[in-house]
Amino acid sequence: MKAKTAAKKPNIFVRMGRKLKEVFSELKKVTWPSFGKVVKSTGAVLAVVIAFLVVFGAINYGLGALLDLITSIGSST
């Protein structure tokens, strides 16, 4: 009988409260980056995204032109 009462979990609100306390205590330990680092990292990410956009746009344009060439050859007969 003792094992049954000892294994009883607290209600959901108590468990959620404990979890929130743990989350906030962990967030206090986080070392946040400075504003300058954030701006530099954001700039680097945007530069990479734009570079990939240009590369994939060029590939898309080239493949579209190739498809137009292939379909125009087939329809001319």
pLDDT class of 41 with cuts at 50, 70, 90: very high
What number of CA atoms fall less than 13 Å from residue 42's CA on the CB side?
7
According to the model, what pLDDT value does residue 73 have?
A: 85
Q: Is the per-residue pLDDT at 50 higher than 60?
A: yes
List CB contacts of 33: < 8 A, sequence separation 6 or more: 41
pTM of the model: 0.58
According to the model, what pLDDT value does residue 4 have?
A: 59
How far apart, in whole angstroms, are the C-alpha atoms of residue 2 and residue 52?
64
Paired tokens of 20: 């929130």
Mean pLDDT across 19-43: 94
Taking alpha carbons only, the member of 15, 60, 27 closest to residue 68 is 60
Q: Is the per-residue pLDDT at 22 higher than 60?
A: yes
